[in-house]
Structure 1
């Protein structure tokens, strides 16, 4: 493998905007007041999750952050769980779009590009990622969206591995290829979770350079998918 550093994806192209809060704010510009208010509540929730545990996310705190009266919340959402089940599927699609755009923008180095995009998006949206990684069972719509993201990404990686094996005259049983791809995907989630969410000291100490982290993960991905 060539160990020379490859350029990072541009944070605005092809990955696109990294902050989901920014995306939500842009989407509602020019819309009716009710739609803007609902979006304020979603954006406030994103902001609070950056520092608050999910169990501490109260309607009162959300409304204070959004600048609306507590009763206004119930005009749009039943409770915190329904709000998050509304919010998280869109975020999962946002993640998927960023990763796939990055991969398409670097067809010869798609695994690294998508891993870099995932790392940057994970770091920029820690609160929402915390819900997806640690609390997904509580939000059925979000769970389905996140599973689709994983499946589509795994299938993309597996297709690239098949093309490489065909080119090299090698082979790997399909079940084995998919098991490895799913295991490597779980490894990536665990690494970024330890780095950006739990802040594991030993991991943080060796992971100050995100480029180097992505180089390491990409090496493991590429070697792990070889026959």
Structure 2
């Protein structure tokens, strides 16, 4: 496997972080089979509905196919129902988020630069895909088929985080003992971004357009929580 090349979060364009746009770009790839491109168009149309604020209960096959420029019956050649399509979409989106964050990591393992680069990219992803993040954070409790792969991605991610914290602390604490702390710190970030971009808390409204400030704040809290002091 080719190791992803780290990129500065600032160098990643908004277009690259827009999952629906990514799906549409792939759907235009003529090297793919027609059936693959049609499936991508359906998923992109579904993503656009969720990003536009349509609630899961309000999703309609007729709207998804119409906006994808496809016949109504085409949807059922690929998915049994809306729930199956949504689960597939969010599973793919989860992998997209993890891949983007992995590529954004910069600096030494456990360093403030490393934490901040990942946090900044995550904040940008969260903001530009808020409707999908709502589903990702909500569907993970629904017992749907994608939940196990989402949890596996999270376990792998937090395992790497715990290992980085242990390496930076260098006090004999094992990564396994630090795994709960990694989950707590990750949950802190998820909840803070949820308050800003999903619940639109008026107290935090001034931060909504300033991902750099969000990243600085969350990085400071992360480093204090992980190391008891700012990390260098």
Would you say same fold, with TM above 0.5? yes
Aligned pairs for 1:34-183 within 5 A: 34-50=35-51, 51-103=53-105, 105-107=106-108, 108=111, 109-138=113-142, 140-166=144-170, 170-172=171-173, 176-183=177-184
What is the Cα deviation at residue 10 of structure 1?
2.6
**Aligned partners of 2:130 and 2:197 also within 8 Å:** yes
3-state SS in 1 of match to 2:10? coil
TM-score, scaled relative to structure 2: 0.84
How many aligned residue pairs are there?
Answer: 215
Give the direction of change, closer, same or farther, for the CA distance of 1:124–1:206 in structure 2 (3 Å limit).
Answer: closer
Q: How many angstroms apart in 2 are the aligned matches of 1:73 and 1:207?
A: 36
Q: Which runs of 5+ in 1 are unaligned?
A: 1-7
Distance 2:124 2:146 in 1: 21
Matches of 2:88 and 2:180, distance apart in 1: 31
Q: Distance in 1 between matches of 2:49 and 2:125?
A: 17
1:52 and 1:106 map into 2 onto residues whose CA distance is 39
Deviation at 1:176, TM superposition (A): 4.8
In structure 2, the partner of 1:212 is 213
Worse-matched range after superposition: 62-71 or 138-147: 138-147
CA distance, structure 2, for counterparts of residue 174 and residue 101 of structure 1 = 22
Structural RMSD (CA): 2.2
Contact 2:207 2:213 (8 Å CA) reproduced: no
What pairs with 1:180-199 in structure 2 (closer than 5 Å)?
Answer: 180-199=181-200
Instruction: Decide whether aligned partners of structure 1 residues 131 and 139 sit closer, same or farther in structure 2, where only a CA change above 3 A counts.
Output: farther
Q: 1:222 to 1:67 in 2, by over 3 A?
A: same
Aligned equivalents of 2:208, 2:49: Cα separation in 1? 26
The answer as to whether partners of 2:165 and 2:175 remain within 8 angstroms in 1 is no
Deviates more, 1:16-25 or 1:156-165: 16-25
CA distance in 1, matches of 2:123, 2:187: 14
Q: Runs of 4 or more off by more than 6 Å in structure 1? A: none
TM-score (norm 1): 0.85
User: Relative to 1, partners in 2 of residues 1:37 and 1:16: Cα closer, same or farther, differing over 3 Å?
Assistant: closer
Cα 1:44–1:72, aligned 2, differ >3 Å: closer, same or farther?
same
**Residue in 1 that maps onto 2:223:** 222
Quote the Cα distance in structure 2 between the aligned partners of 1:101 and 1:222. Answer: 21
Structure 1 residues 134, 45: CA separation in 2 closer, same or farther (over 3 Å shift)?
Answer: same
